[in-house]
Structure 1
């Protein structure tokens, strides 16, 4: 006999888990001990939200479910925000939490009156939420969780396991079978060919490429399709890395702020092929708003068939890689071409914005406090093409890397995305470095967000990872402060006391560098990127700096 926690550890190993993220407690000691004895890397987060963020990031970068483990009650509820974020990002994850026995009294430790409250809390933010109070069900539930997390549209799954199962010895009956994952059959070639016909019937066509392409690791196939169609490619605002930004067909992003080239490409398109965007989603609604009512929209997406949010000629659902394989075969033999004047008009808008941005950079290059556009420009010039950027909610980690950074490699912008919680970048960057230690990783965050996740510098030091954290330190919750200022409100609750963030980094055992002069930005970046330890650049920035999207777009 063995503890249920040790049994769960073996079940995770059986599902090819090699790394988990946790903040251990009495209820999960047996589980993490069993993982450690099986040579699974147990990474300690300093808050359960951060453990969930790290598991989310692991899923995005590897395609395999990241695993977060928490104690009951506050451990689970702390992780819920990170799990909801993984759901909106279509990131595969398995979140395992201890839960109280079903016969626990009311107001028990880590509980409320309803002992299924965690299962119910996680249900709307996961693909499947369940609790296990019978140890014989553990093999079936764990196997099913991994299958659900990876199938169709990926996403998180929640498993609550009775604390008595985790902590005590159990005798689990061998199940009659173990699940072998079966791949869903792709749509027929005829279905894909019929759906593509509007693209072949017009010379004004565009692609709209979203996060489903990233989760399917299918960016090479999409680049090939774009080149075969020779048409502009637009991405949703929060997923600019769905298509290489330095490709001649890239036409910017739409959503919140629209790149003029993207607006032109969609407004003038007679047909749009949307790849990797849920037809029922906010991003689909944006596509409908930016196109005409007579524009024929074709949706190819991963997961079950969904009713479109806006007009659609057809929807093809299933495993995206199979759909794209059939697409490539049809386009190779398809007829039609993209109108050259349409393509050139979109390209001219891209060039105009680039020229105007360079002029804007010349205006602000020497100003103090430092302008964020200078930081983004110098970072792009100093960094490798495949650098991973992690971004936060707000201006520093959201608006600026969306407005002013060129993502040359797919799946290279890991952001808190549409759920948009603060404090994402440092735990996400820790995982990015653990997944690929040789790849450059830069975390972009404001001082407000930094104060929510700086405890994960301890994790960075403990794991000896050498990401770079850039803190745009403007003593403000800058995005909201600017909204107040521009909308006639008083500045209430948006000032942050001037904080020496470099000193905080030093206190954790990382290296902190304070940057106050524009001439110091490039040398500091080069020093940080070359370091073999975690470096925090505390850059004093201008809270009134105008976004590129507002200044130029």
Structure 2
């Protein structure tokens, strides 16, 4: 029986030490404008500073209100990609950041350009990307006079869109050239910090053409500081880890510490599990890996927690959000959590009743410190190793019976993707929300970090179908999106990929319905709601836009289609007619629900059960 706690310890890293390291913004605000450049406009100065901040690409939709800024960007070293919709541009910028590590820009015109981009920017903030929105707004003299696409306090709320807050880490409207030095200093400092940073600079049309005159931009180099745990925090963590068996729970925030985490796991023998966004940080083929938690996760995790429950769990870089944990109390060990995160507000939030040792630290720095402590204290290390179980459950693989050819079973498709794309190439793979997410997360296996991308926070439809363009563009190599037909119809950027010959690949799970909704409502015993959509020929759509397209109707055709797409130079759409009646993998979720007394049958379920969680 799992013991419940009512007490939570406060974070112990009260006086974190700062560790300085070189950053990509070391020369972020480098050269001042010399006397010969006094005629430079604000728009040109902004483009120059973006270059010096390390921005290499910008994504957006232009318009008359931001023509000068668009022109300045287009004549800089920043690669400017013109998209078909601002939300798609923002999703592409988000994924370009994660694929490259360099901050990116989204540009929009006034009014609807800004509001269209907000969903993608909301996702960028939730995912932890570094992105700047450059938008145009109505000039002061025209505000309140019904200007075209007027953007002012008369038409849009300023709070949240044009101010620092929940959507933007920093926001400012530039009314004069004199603001630029301080604005760019703030941007450089924001980019130099660990974690995400989403900013919004709104520039009135008239201001874009103002001369910089004698305004000088800063020259001071900036350094990135990371927070490391103090000695007291490390000592307390070691004491807990040697009190009994422990597990390691990895999240997306630990992706840059893969080597250190593998060393820690192998030195201690601890079981390792991960969130959907944490796949591949420790190879999913590693003997100590027990599975993915949460949405699309594995029943083997619950088997471990029920049969070999650890005394405590070391959580590295995960918020333990609902899609990662479902807040299942069976995931709470007897002695609770050692929860390490760069954000001091994260530890203890998901499980407020559980005993939690909260440590604010960069994950890589923390694991390095912990390894050093264990290596210098051989007695403690040996004691920790002795406590770990000799055998661990492995993520289950559901056998696929031979014989069926059409419609295509999603399991067969995923095994082919594993063979051709995951094992046979270096492509980044991303999965759209919905059943695409659960099939991909459950079946695909990754042996390295940063090759699999899903959104477990915002989870917006259209994220992967457009984000794949940004990822493929900055990599100058393959990126693959596994998406549903509903998402593909909602907001794709095939035309953009064709224009720039970006090697993006879309694999469309075509079942003529929003199938997570359809299957979920059926499992909840609810009738009358219609989640079907007309069957769409995505091969024809792709060819009509100038991309390569192929329709797969037989299981025997899958491998050849995938190999063709990997070998192709430009964008490819693979339209796969899948069996809509194959239930998406939910064994891990069902075990979690069962432990809380929720039934996923036609019997009336308890409160808060919904189709994404069944």
TM norm structure 1: 0.90
Distance in 2 separating the partners of 1:230 and 1:172: 64
The equivalent residue for 1:298 is 338
How big is the shift at 1:504? Answer: 0.2
Instruction: Choose the corresponding residue for 1:429, options 468, 481, 488.
Output: 468
| Alpha-carbon spacing, 1:287–1:239, altered in 2? closer, same or farther (3 Å) | farther
Aligned residues: 537
Instruction: Choose the corresponding residue for 2:228, options 187, 193, 212.
Output: 187
Distance in 1 separating the partners of 2:387 and 2:498: 53
Matched, 1:161 2:203: yes
Instruction: Choose the corresponding residue for 1:277, options 314, 318, 321.
Output: 318
How big is the shift at 1:17? Answer: 1.5
- 8 Å Cα contact 1:300-1:315 kept in structure 2: yes
Stretch moving more, 181-190 or 414-423: 181-190
| Alpha-carbon spacing, 1:44–1:325, altered in 2? closer, same or farther (3 Å) | same
Matched, 1:549 2:586: yes
| Alpha-carbon spacing, 1:163–1:120, altered in 2? closer, same or farther (3 Å) | farther
- 8 Å Cα contact 1:238-1:418 kept in structure 2: no
Unaligned runs of 5+ in 2: 1-38, 592-614
The equivalent residue for 2:610 is none
Stretch moving more, 46-55 or 419-428: 419-428
| Alpha-carbon spacing, 1:534–1:264, altered in 2? closer, same or farther (3 Å) | same
- 8 Å Cα contact 1:95-1:158 kept in structure 2: yes
Distance in 1 separating the partners of 2:213 and 2:435: 51
Matched, 1:86 2:124: yes
- 8 Å Cα contact 1:485-1:491 kept in structure 2: no
| Alpha-carbon spacing, 1:375–1:179, altered in 2? closer, same or farther (3 Å) | farther
Local SS of the residue matching 1:332: helix
Local SS of the residue matching 1:409: coil
Deviations 1:371-422 (A, max 9, x none): 11111001101124443112111112x1111111112221111223320111
| Alpha-carbon spacing, 1:306–1:544, altered in 2? closer, same or farther (3 Å) | closer
Local SS of the residue matching 1:223: helix
The equivalent residue for 2:43 is 5
The equivalent residue for 1:308 is 348
The equivalent residue for 2:419 is 381
- 8 Å Cα contact 1:152-1:304 kept in structure 2: no
The equivalent residue for 2:28 is none
Instruction: Choose the corresponding residue for 2:389, options 334, 342, 345.
Output: 342
- 8 Å Cα contact 1:45-1:51 kept in structure 2: yes
The equivalent residue for 1:476 is 513
How big is the shift at 1:288? Answer: 6.8
How big is the shift at 1:23? Answer: 1.0
How big is the shift at 1:131? Answer: 2.3
Local SS of the residue matching 1:117: coil
Matched, 1:416 2:429: no
Stretch moving more, 156-165 or 472-481: 156-165
Instruction: Choose the corresponding residue for 1:401, options 436, 440, 447.
Output: 440
Q: 1:66-105 residue pairs with structure 2 within 5 A?
A: 66-101=104-139, 104-105=143-144
The equivalent residue for 2:160 is 120
The equivalent residue for 1:246 is 285
Distance in 2 separating the partners of 1:451 and 1:60: 25
How big is the shift at 1:304? Answer: 4.1
The equivalent residue for 1:519 is 556
| Alpha-carbon spacing, 1:327–1:545, altered in 2? closer, same or farther (3 Å) | same
How big is the shift at 1:219? Answer: 1.8
| Alpha-carbon spacing, 1:320–1:72, altered in 2? closer, same or farther (3 Å) | farther
| Alpha-carbon spacing, 1:60–1:266, altered in 2? closer, same or farther (3 Å) | farther
Distance in 2 separating the partners of 1:55 and 1:152: 18
Distance in 2 separating the partners of 1:158 and 1:320: 28
The equivalent residue for 1:322 is 365
| Alpha-carbon spacing, 1:381–1:285, altered in 2? closer, same or farther (3 Å) | closer
The equivalent residue for 2:603 is none
Distance in 2 separating the partners of 1:425 and 1:376: 17
Instruction: Choose the corresponding residue for 2:89, options 28, 51, 58.
Output: 51
Distance in 2 separating the partners of 1:87 and 1:192: 29
| Alpha-carbon spacing, 1:312–1:341, altered in 2? closer, same or farther (3 Å) | closer
How big is the shift at 1:105? Answer: 0.6
| Alpha-carbon spacing, 1:114–1:243, altered in 2? closer, same or farther (3 Å) | farther
Distance in 2 separating the partners of 1:13 and 1:182: 17
Alignment RMSD, CA only?
2.6
Local SS of the residue matching 1:245: coil
How big is the shift at 1:63? Answer: 2.2
Q: 1:466-505 residue pairs with structure 2 within 5 A?
A: 466-505=503-542
Local SS of the residue matching 1:170: coil
Matched, 1:537 2:574: yes
Counting helix residues as a fraction of each chain, which structure ranks higher?
Answer: 1
Instruction: Choose the corresponding residue for 1:206, options 240, 247, 255.
Output: 247
Local SS of the residue matching 1:120: coil
Local SS of the residue matching 1:507: helix
Local SS of the residue matching 2:160: helix
Deviations 1:205-249 (A, max 9, x none): 1111111123xx222222222222221111123432443212222
Q: 1:363-378 residue pairs with structure 2 within 5 A?
A: 366-378=404-416
Matched, 1:16 2:54: yes
